[in-house]
Amino acid sequence: MSVIQDRALARLTDRAGLAQLLTPRARLLVEQTHDLEYERIDSVAEVRVRSVTPQSPLFPPDCRQGYWSQVVPSITRADFGWTGETAEPVWIDVLAEVEVDVVAETDAGGLDSLVVKAVDDYTTLDEFRTQFRYLDLDAFMTSHGLSTVEDLRASGEYLRTEVRLRRPPVFDPADPANRRTVALEAAVVIGAMDDVAGAVRAARRVAAAARDSPLAPGPFGVRVAPYALAVAFPVPPPGPPPPEQGLGQAQIDTLLADAGIAALFLT
């Protein structure tokens, strides 16, 4: 690891400084690690880094399967399998336990009422038709070989179900009940602005190595990934431009965000 990367590592292990770097990317970190089916993040109130672990190794499981066979003294075939950890770890430069306070609107849905009524008070087809809002009575009778109201009565009993969905209250961002704390782990790898592709590959290796890690349930959304991925780029000091101009910070930020990775710039 070069001197520039060593200095970047020292900066990233400062919890207050890392929280400041993560704050503009906090929404992306939460969306990386949680499926927000019933939640909508209105704003991010605060980001806290509870702990940092520099150079954290990740040992992905390694699985081997196969078979062996013999013909002497008799034909035999057997399957075998082996599962263990890889000898070479995937390194996370900084693993941080993060808490993100968000103001969020939550609507888990639900029923306000459910009423089932028998439909038997009708003497004409039009009276029956008015009992149902979405029923194509003509198509229904044709498909069942019915032609008169007497045929309809004789074919069976009919029920009408009325479902009323619960209306959520009007969202108030100032209501303390709408403030939620999301706990997550951020896996930060140190990259170089002249090798963005290599930084993305390093982050992808972390995600692949952690793919089978158990996911603890939480009170907000559904946990879908063990780590939120981030790449920290040390920004070189001002000086003469290199012979080939690389990507700018805005371009890197957009590129990584589209890949689901938070870009952090150490200026």
**In which element (H, E) is residue 105 found?**
strand 90-106
Is the pTM of the predicted complex or chain greater than 0.75?
no
Q: Residue 208: its pLDDT value, please?
A: 92
pLDDT (average), residues 201-218: 90
Q: Residue 27: its pLDDT value, please?
A: 95
What span, in angstroms and rounded, lies between the C-alpha atoms of 63 and 80? Answer: 11
Using omega within 30 degrees of 0 as the cis cutoff, is the peptide bond preceding 73 cis? yes
Confidence of residue 203 (pLDDT cuts 50, 70, 90): very high
Q: Residue 25: its pLDDT value, please?
A: 95
Q: Residue 128: its pLDDT value, please?
A: 92
Sequence length of the chain is 267
Query: Angle between the 196-209 and 249-258 helix axes, to the nearest 10 degrees?
Result: 30
Which residues are CB-contacts of 156 (< 8 A; sequence separation ≥ 6)?
none
Confidence of residue 61 (pLDDT cuts 50, 70, 90): confident
Residue 182 and residue 34 in contact, taking contact as beta carbons nearer than 8 Å: yes
What span, in angstroms and rounded, lies between the C-alpha atoms of 253 and 26? Answer: 14
Q: What are phi and psi of 237, to 5 degrees?
A: -65, 160
What's the angle, vertex CA 112, arms to CA 110 and CA 118, rounded to 5? 115
Q: Which amino acid is at 50?
A: R
First to last CA, the chain: 19
Kindly state the greatest CA–CA separation across the chain: 92
Mean pLDDT, the chain, whole residue set: 88
Report the share of the chain in percent with pLDDT over 70: 90
Which of 49-58, 114-123, 253-262 has the least mean pLDDT? 114-123
Q: Residue 112: its pLDDT value, please?
A: 78
Of 223 and 217, more confident: 223
Question: Is 74 a residue whose pLDDT tops 90?
Answer: no
What span, in angstroms and rounded, lies between the C-alpha atoms of 40 and 136? Answer: 38
Confidence of residue 86 (pLDDT cuts 50, 70, 90): low
